[in-house]
Structure 1
Amino acid sequence: MATTVGTDLSRDRISNLADSTLVTILSRLCMDEAARCSILSSRWRHLFPCTLLNFRAFTRSGRNVVKAVTSILAAYPDKPVLSLRTGMLFFRPQDQTAVDVWLRDLSNRGIEELSLWFGFDEKRRPIPESLFACNSLRRLHVINGTFPDTTEAAAASLARLTKIELSDVRISQNSINSLLSQCTVLEHLTIKFTGRLDSLRLRSRSLKVLNSTGDFEKLVIDDAPNLERVVDKLMNQRKVHIEVVYAPKLEFLGYVGMSNEIGIGDTISKGEIMRVETLMPRIKTLAVEMSYMKEGYTTWFMQLLRLFPHMETLYITQRDSSYMVEFTAPGSWEMRRPIPCIMNHLEKVVFEVFRGHKWEMEMAKFFHRRSDFLKTMEFHCMDDKSKEDYGGPPSEQWVRKQKKLLCLDGRAAGDALFQFFKRPLAEDHHEHCDDERYQRYYYRDMYDV
């Protein structure tokens, strides 16, 4: 941008910025935009090759991205590429060779971060085996592809990976096992795969976070000494057997529900029947699905809580969410014997979707009356009384009524804070709750009543 200073003296303030700042600006643009900006000024022209350090390989012009990327890499054969991120490329069968060439080329340029988005294609194009040549990779993200069969020898070439994200990707159990055993510094694994597995078995000395969704019957945490978080927002909707053999640092587990079998050491939970013999004292946060239309749901819930004596934060979601469903199975919220986490540790309860149903009110009152340490209850509200208003935020009058009903005399948590939000909790909350930007905007939709 040129501005007039003094007597007709023009100054281009943007071009006076440092090279590193201009490269950062160009790197945030798509391919076409970065190229056009580079042509406009001789000051910018020599900077375009530097954008390949963080190469954003997508375009808004509709041109053939695969051909363009191939041409750019060929034009600058000696430039390092630390990261390559693609948009929805909609790879054609004839593009498979080009992607193979990219990966072999990038393996010689010190590639550390690779993101391949193959578009929405039911065929899920295969990822070339030349991926295993990229032995400098630290982060890998693939959307809508088929992962190559992975032996331990092949996986060993990816030993520097610290983060793997596979979304809508077909991958075999053997390939997962090979990656876990050979990627010895892997800390974050996201697998949102298609197809069916008998089981997902974790054996990793380095893994800290598992985020998974998929059609499998068993989740076995066999040997994971550093595992801190397990997030599977669909696990509660399947009859998945959860078995925790060794995970001494596990602090978050979710979602679990009455359809899950839970095995922790010698403890087995199946529906409302539970034998509490082994506890998980490290768990600080638990996400639970309440099946409030199933008989015995309150008994099952109280028994579940006894497994986690030091739990501090509890998230509650529900499966029976239709606006027409108001039936609640009979169940008592009388606590016949103490529940350690409620009596000594529980500080925060979050209703991820709050509709003001009978069971929600009774559960909220239960925590409010029984928990001596409760500091906060969050209610993420949703209006589902009619098809016309479905999904909209309830009125402030409705919120005031709920607060009045919940603030009871003689409660244990006398100073508990009630916070009502205008929307349900974000579906990916547990994936991003530690992100600073997400935290900054978390309370912007809260009612001021």
Structure 2
Amino acid sequence: MAGKRVRIGRKFQPKKCAKRCKGDNNDRISELPDDILVTILHLLPMKAAARTSILSSRWINLWKNISSLDFDAEIALVKIADDPKLSNEESLKYVRWVNCVLQSHKASPLKEFRVCFDLGRTFKYAITQWLEFAFARNVERLELDFSPRTCRVGTVDDTCYVFPNKFLKRPSQSSSVNFRSLKELSLKSVIVTREAVEFFLHNCPLLEKLVVSYTCQLSNLEVCGSSLALKHLELKHCYGLKSVKVSAPNLTSLSIPKVEGLLLENFPSLVKVSVTCIIDRYSVKNLLPTLSCCIFQLETLILTLDDDGEDIFLPTFPQLPKLKKLVIYYWVDGEQSLMGLTSLIRASPNLQEFVLRLTVWDYLRSDEEVKNSIKFPHEHLKVVMFCGYCGRSSDAELVGYILDNCVALEKLVIDPRYPFFLRGTPSDTELVEEQTSRDYAKQQLEAQVPQHIEFVIH
């Protein structure tokens, strides 16, 4: 069938270039004031912004005034992940790039300064100079992320960069550094002490977000103070951390790793919690009183559940009346049932989104028919995402429960791709496993999903 012909009125047709281009009058962008041009450049990746300097003399120095310096090098990190021998070469290139930009940069104050590369003590002199640069320009958002591109459990060692003590001085101690402008601080794969963390908390009156991950010097930590402006606190992979006490009235989101002692209090605004615990009746049961100060007001709950080799056992949870999003990270080995997770769904009558991020260490697929015997209608769950689906009968069993009971379900996403926490390029064997999992998902689920539900297999 021939396509429908559409006519465009003459007044909407583009004029020929010869009639509208006279000299340099077509360069309307360059006629804009400097502050507007810098705002436009701020929206570009930093390398792209720097490349505009070749356009004309009008643009040579404009990029040097952008207030956000995000030294993102994702392409180089992928190269290193695929070929570790390139690590030293790419690291040197990265350091030279940062140094070159800082030598030319003029803007102050600095809204953002982000360094993201697998660097360690080898480059401590350069990193310390970068910090001096950022603090001298009253940086508002500071991020140091020296994590490797591929996830390596327990990577914190004596090669990691240590946050310098020379910055941790109060103004009365003749420190040249002023932290009063700092609003967000993120330290990943940086060795930082309890004294350093608490220094920032009590000397940065505007600090609203604090992230500390992949560090080994923290054992006990207190984040307490009625005057703290802190709204977001994230502690992850803090090896050696034994106890945490948090009391911050303005906190809205909290992420805490598995610790022996956890004390939470004074959270009138807390609506999002991420916490790790062992899957057994004792650990989860002990977690509930800890969350009692906020469990009835939570809107988002993220649970990381460490497998103890048995089927999931979760005690009866109290009602979570305001919970809208539930995310569960779970590591399994073999064919353990996932039906224990349904107790959390049933405890959340207003839940709208459920995300399961599953990592399976041993693929034990089965072609046996799965029958769901649990009937508990859920009236508000609309979106379900199952990451790590590999075709085990227990995987199909959980999805069957959701299809049978979630009467408002609008979208079901099955994502069997390489485990979410590993950031390197999947091997050929892993890609084959992914495709096998897709085939199982299609075979097991496609006929069960009603037509009114959007069904996606990544």
Shift of 1:197: 1.5
Q: 1:255 aligns with which of 303, 306, 318?
A: 303
Offset of residue 353 of structure 1: 3.3
Residues 382 and 410 in structure 2, CA contact (< 8 A), matched pair in contact too: yes
Distance in 1, matches of 2:147 and 2:337, equals: 45
Answering whether residue 396 of structure 2 is matched by residue 353 of structure 1, we say: no
SS of match in other structure, 1:390: helix
Shift of residue 71, structure 1, vs aligned partner: 3.7
Give the SS at the match of 2:113: strand
For 1:237 and 1:35, the matched residues in 2 are separated by 50
Matched, 1:313 2:353: yes
Once residues 103 and 230 of structure 2 are traced to their aligned partners in structure 1, the CA distance between those partners, rounded to angstroms, is 33
**Counterpart of 1:216?**
259
1:403 aligned partner: 446
Residue 145 (1) aligns with residue 195 (2): no
Residue number in structure 2 paired with 1:245: 292
Point out the structure with the larger helix share: 2
Residues in 2 aligned to 1:225 and 1:200: alpha-carbon distance in whole angstroms: 19
In structure 2, relative to structure 1, the CA distance for the partners of 1:393 and 1:417 (3 Å cut) is farther
Does 392-401 or 135-144 show the bigger shift?
392-401
Mapping 1:100-139, distance limit 5 Å? 100=128, 103=131, 106-107=134-135, 109-118=137-146, 120=148, 122=157, 123-129=159-165, 130=167, 133-139=178-184
Residue 235 of structure 2 corresponds to residue 187 of structure 1: no
The 8 Å contact of residues 389 and 437 in structure 2, kept in 1 or not, is answered as no
SS of residue matched to 1:168:
strand
Kindly provide the amino acid, as one letter, of the partner of residue 203 in structure 2: S
Question: Given the alignment of the two structures, is residue 286 of structure 1 paired with residue 318 of structure 2, yes or no?
Answer: no
Looking at structure 2, the residues matched to 296 and 381 of structure 1 have their Cα atoms a distance apart, in angstroms, of 19
Report the AA paired with residue 145 of structure 1: V
Aligned-residue offset at 1:136 = 0.7
Following superposition, the deviation at residue 143 of structure 1 comes to: 2.9
Stretches of structure 1 lacking an aligned partner (at least 5 in a row): 261-269, 408-414, 424-449
Partner of 2:455: 420
Structure 1 partner of 2:399: 364
Shift of 1:416: 7.5
| Pairing 1:392–2:435 present | yes
TM-score norm. by structure 2 comes to 0.66
1:316 to partner: Cα distance: 3.5
Tell me how far apart the structure 1 counterparts of residues 54 and 338 of structure 2 sit (CA, whole Å). 66
For residues 108 and 219 of structure 1, do their structure 2 counterparts lie closer, same or farther at Cα, with a shift above 3 Å needed? same
| Equivalent in the alignment of 1:230 | 273
CA contact (8 A) 1:88 1:118 kept: yes
Q: Which amino acid letter does the alignment assign opposite residue 112 of structure 1? A: E
Aligned residue in 1 for 2:362 = 322
Q: Are residues 295 and 34 of structure 1, via their aligned partners in 2, closer, same or farther at CA, if it must alter by over 3 Å?
A: closer
Q: 1:116 to 1:314 in 2, by over 3 A?
A: closer
Give the direction of change, closer, same or farther, for the CA distance of 1:350–1:85 in structure 2 (3 Å limit).
closer
Q: What's the CA shift for 1:253?
A: 1.7
Aligned pairs, how many?
A: 385
| Structure whose residues are more often strand by fraction | 1
**Quick one: which amino acid aligns to residue 410 of structure 2?**
T
Q: Classify 1:291/1:156 alpha carbon distance in 2 versus 1 (closer, same or farther; 3 Å).
A: same
1:411 corresponds in structure 2 to none
Pairwise CA distance, 1:58: 7.3
Task: Calculate percent identity across the aligned residue pairs.
Answer: 19
2:37 is aligned with 1:22: yes
Question: What is the RMSD computed on CA atoms of the aligned residues?
Answer: 4.5
* 1:161 alignment counterpart: 207
Q: Report the 3-state secondary structure (helix = DSSP H, G, I; strand = E; otherwise coil) of the residue aligned with 1:362.
A: helix
Q: TM-score, normalised by structure 1?
A: 0.67
Distance 1:70 1:20, change over 3 A: closer
Residue in structure 2 matching 1:47, options 62, 69, 80: 62
Q: What residue is the counterpart of 1:429 in the other structure?
A: none
For 2:124 and 2:101, how far apart are their aligned partners in 1? 12
Change (3 A) 1:345 1:12: closer
| 1:23 CA displacement | 1.9
1:387-418 Cα distance to aligned partner (Å, 9 max, x none): 772113777897376322x15xxxxxxx7843
Check conservation: 1:382, 1:394, Cα contact below 8 A.
Answer: yes
Post-superposition shift, 1:137?
0.8
2:409 counterpart residue number:
375
- Asked whether the 8 Å contact 1:290–1:316 carries over to 2, the reply is no
* 1:152–1:181 CA contact under 8 A, matched in 2: no
Q: Secondary structure at the match of 2:206?
A: coil
How far residue 161 of structure 1 moved from its aligned partner, in angstroms, is: 1.5
Structure 1 residues 395, 272: closer, same or farther in 2, change over 3 A? closer
Distance 1:332 1:401, change over 3 A: closer
Cα separation, 2, equivalents of 1:63 and 1:273: 48
- Structure 1 residue 362 displacement after superposition: 3.2
**CA 1:105–1:394 in 2, change beyond 3 Å: closer, same or farther?**
closer
Cα 1:35–1:285 change in 2 (3 A) is closer
